[in-house]
Amino acid sequence: MVKIIQKHEECIGCGACTAICPDHWEMGDDGKSFLKGAKKDGDKLVKEVNDAECNQDAADSCPVPCIFVEK
């Protein structure tokens, strides 16, 4: 399993992750991206997936360090 972590409050809402990986990311009502199906863990959103899929590309494209992929 791979853990995808988003520091949602640090998101600037550029939408890169949603364009690259729309199966896992969408824009929320607050203008920031949201990790679909994630659970809140303190100030982070966390989701476990079978493999990194496009989430690593989403993390790499993010202009601020708010998406992390832990393998």
Domain boundaries, the chain: 2-70
pLDDT for residue 43: 93
Beta-strand ranges (E) seen in 1-71 are: 2-6, 25-27, 33-35, 39-41, 44-49, 67-70
pTM of the model: 0.93
What does the pLDDT look like over 2-51, one tens digit per residue?
A: 999 999 999 999 999 999 999 999 999 999 999 999 999 999 999 999 98
Residue 37 token pair: 């199906």
- Write out the CATH class of domain 2-70: alpha beta
Q: How many CB atoms lie within 10 A of CB 29?
A: 6
pLDDT for residue 20: 97
Q: How many CB atoms lie within 10 A of CB 55?
A: 26
pLDDT for residue 51: 85
pLDDT for residue 16: 98
